[in-house]
Structure 1
Amino acid sequence: MTALTHDFPFDPTYGYTLDTLLAVPGPGGAPDDFDAFWRGRYEAARAVETRPELGPLVEERDGVRIFEVSYASVGGVRLGGWLALPVEGRAEHGFVIGHGYGGRDQAGPDVPLPLPRSAAILPCVRGMVERGLVDGVPSVSAEHVLHGIESRETYVIGECVADLWCAASALLELVPELGESVASGEGLGYLGESFGGGLGALALPWDERFAAGELTVPTFGNHPLRLTLDCIGSGAAVRAYRETHPEVVDVLRYFDAATAATRITKPVLVAAALFDPSVPPPGQFAVHNSLAGGGELTVLEAGHFDFPGKDAALAELAAAKGEFFGRVLK
């Protein structure tokens, strides 16, 4: 890898090489009730009547029509997002697509979808602009990532994972043929980047409706290590909070994407970066290295950073996603 020029007061490679990144473990020592905690959250989300409503057509491109959509999630909140439906014919595949911190204000670069003849829901999880704003939930990432962090029951990250499960329920209700496919053994695909990648790792182990996932530069991996590494992302806020609230480490054990990865046996493709000032690469690789099913890996030169050749790298990643889902979603 060619050294990237930057002006950060720290090294966004953190001194790791690809070989040493591939050796980064998860944190180990999951709480005894880790599985029971998450299964309980999942069951509560599945019990929600999501009452999805299809809004106006926003645009038509790349073989899909994109509509506004809204749905109910846990805690009685109602969230918005976008729904992509094939211009012609029935949907043969379905996707839930998470977003990074900061939310999304349109379907944007998540379309085109990884496979043709697909439908997808692109939700805005609670607190995230612009269609996920909820009273009392901060919309700024450094504040959002700390919301409710005092306990595992109130931490907003758990509710955001539930928002993804409820989005899947809404998608299956809005596109009945996908429900038929899931019932016959062909599941949904999940895609998420950064914040959405970490949420995806926490969501995938418990939801049998998902058959495969793709996580790009996923966050929340190996919190004990992550708390030792400087960064400019949401992890910096958690790191600062831990300095005056050391007890938060016990809460974070339940929200570690690398720990959750040890429970994921379905196919997962991880795109992890060698250089990333926002989500330290060791945490990203810890998620990949912990996958119970072995997982597949695409190595990126950098994440959360503009670099020469970035457009070509993103095109290669898009092709890798298409090849992966074309192979694993039957």
Structure 2
Amino acid sequence: MASFDLSLEELHEYRSGSAEPEGFDAFWSKTLQEAREYDLDARFEPVDTGLETVRVFDVTFAGYGGHPVKAWLTLPAAATEPVPLVVEFVGYGGGRGLPHEHLLWASTGRAHFIMDTRGQGSAWGGGGGTADPVGAGPAFPGFMTRGMDAPENYYYRRVFTDAVRAVEAARSHPSTDAARTVVLGASQGGGISIAVGGLVPDLVAVAPDVPFLCDFPRAVTLTDRHPYREIGLFLKTHRGRTQDALRTLSYFDGVHFASRGSAPALFSVALEDQTCPPSTVFAAFHAWAHDDRTIEVYDFNDHEGGGPYHEAAKMRWLRSYA
């Protein structure tokens, strides 16, 4: 599929029309305050993986509602003092997988913490192991419309809270340098990293790749590819609920978290990406509050984005921050 969105020149000028909801900051402050009423209870169990160059820990910590969330922490085996920390969030449908799937960042001398996404982990990769014990009203299959009747009930309220708590859990390990924490991820993981970048004020860098969950009003009317299409199909059945749905989604729109981003950021975008349309990525990029922001553009790629080329770009970029 050739480019289908705005031209690159227009993308550089595009700004989102997504309206920030009233009480956005209060909503998230209250959400995180409630989550922190539960003991973080971060537990790190050593795992014998057969890998010689890294040490791996099976992690459990308390996320939203005190619910147990799983993760892996991978450390360079030779590290004798705290090392910079990379916290990673995964794409839609995936889970934390298996430890040997995630060796890049520990190979650069950093600690790597990869969070399971509650309720997911059964669509690709090595799977996940974190339940989502919260029920919801009627929803279209998938995760995008679960609890969409109100911001308090929406699925991503739980996920974004888990992600903030993941940073806190990762920082609690004595081998990680909390002062040099980076968050990153691709697709859904990129959207989560933008949210965390807006909710955690003392990160040193944020790197969202082809991020999902941005500029909802445009995304749901521009692409008919899943997962955004889940929202359209829900509203196709539940006629007349569009404005209520968009109000709920506005509390989770990456554009509004980006406007609170307080760390340097490296975005990536693919101009043939129909899953996360380029204009929605540029919307979050242009909203990013920190002056030190860069976007890598992959002209002829779909949702795979820059792939290994962008991994190399991130490694070069992060040398300046962590």
TM-score of Structure 1 vs Structure 2, range by shorter chain: 0.7 to 0.9
Q: Amino acid of the residue matched to residue 30 of structure 2? A: G
Instruction: Look up the match of 1:103.
Output: 94
Please tell me whether residue 223 in structure 1 is matched to residue 230 in structure 2: no
2:22 to 20, 25, 32: 32
Q: Is the 8 A contact 2:35 2:66 kept in 1?
A: no
| Shift, 1:60, TM fit | 5.6
1:177 Cα shift? Answer: 4.5
Describe how 1:72-221 pairs up with structure 2 within 5 A: 72-89=62-79, 90-104=81-95, 105-107=97-99, 109-113=101-105, 116-129=108-121, 130-135=128-133, 142-173=141-172, 175-178=173-176, 181-182=177-178, 186-221=179-214
**Structure 1 residue matching 2:320: 3-state secondary structure:** helix
The letter of the residue matching 2:219 is: R
Matched residue SS, 2:281 = helix
Shift, 1:155, TM fit: 0.5
TM-score (norm 1): 0.84
Identity of aligned residues (%): 23
Q: What is the one-letter code of the residue matched to 1:43?
A: Q
How far does residue 26 in structure 1 lie from its aligned partner after superposition?
Answer: 2.2
* SS class of match (1:328): coil
Give the letter for the 2:85 counterpart. G
Alpha-carbon RMSD: 2.5
Moved more, 205-214 or 188-197: 205-214
Quote how far apart the aligned CAs of 1:97 are: 0.4
Match of 2:252 among 252, 255, 271: 255
Amino acid at match of 2:91: G
3-state SS in 2 of match to 1:143: coil
Partner of 2:279: 282
Which residue of the partner structure matches residue 299 of structure 1? 297
Superposed displacement of residue 91, structure 1: 3.3
Indicate how the Cα distance of structure 1 residues 39 and 324 shifts in structure 2: closer, same or farther if over 3 A, else same. Answer: farther
Is the Cα–Cα contact under 8 Å of residues 199 and 257 in structure 2 kept in the other structure?
no
Determine the structure 1 residue equivalent to 2:230.
237
CA displacement 1:160-184 (0-9 Å, x = unmatched): 01111111122122x2243xx43xx
For 1:122, the aligned partner's letter is I
- Return closer, same or farther for 1:318/1:62 CA change in 2, 3 Å cut-off: farther
Q: 1:33 to 1:98 in 2, by over 3 A?
A: same
Q: TM-score, normalised by structure 2?
A: 0.86
Greater Cα shift, 283-292 or 106-115:
106-115
**Do structure 1's residue 55 and structure 2's residue 45 form an aligned pair?**
yes
Deviation at 1:142, TM superposition (A): 4.5
Distance 1:327 1:316 in 2: 18
Q: Which residue of 2 aligns with 1:265?
A: 262
SS at match of 1:166: helix
Asked whether the 8 Å contact 2:85–2:111 carries over to 1, the reply is: yes
| Greater mean alpha carbon deviation, residues 192-201 or residues 21-30 | 21-30
Q: Distance in 2 between matches of 1:187 and 1:47?
A: 26
Letter in 2 for 1:101: Y
Q: Determine the C-alpha separation between the residues in 2 that align with 1:56 and 1:114.
A: 16
Contact 2:76 2:107 in 1 (8 A): no
CA gap 1:78/1:41 in 2 versus in 1, 3 angstroms: same
Q: Which amino acid aligns with 2:270?
A: A
Deviations 1:89-129 (A, max 9, x none): 22320121000011222245542107732112111121112
> Which residue of structure 2 lines up, in the alignment, with residue 3 of structure 1?
none
Equivalences for residues 16-31 of structure 1 within 5 A: 16-31=6-21
Unaligned runs of 5+ in 1: 1-5
Shift of 1:28: 4.5
Distance in 2 of aligned mates of 1:229 and 1:107 = 37
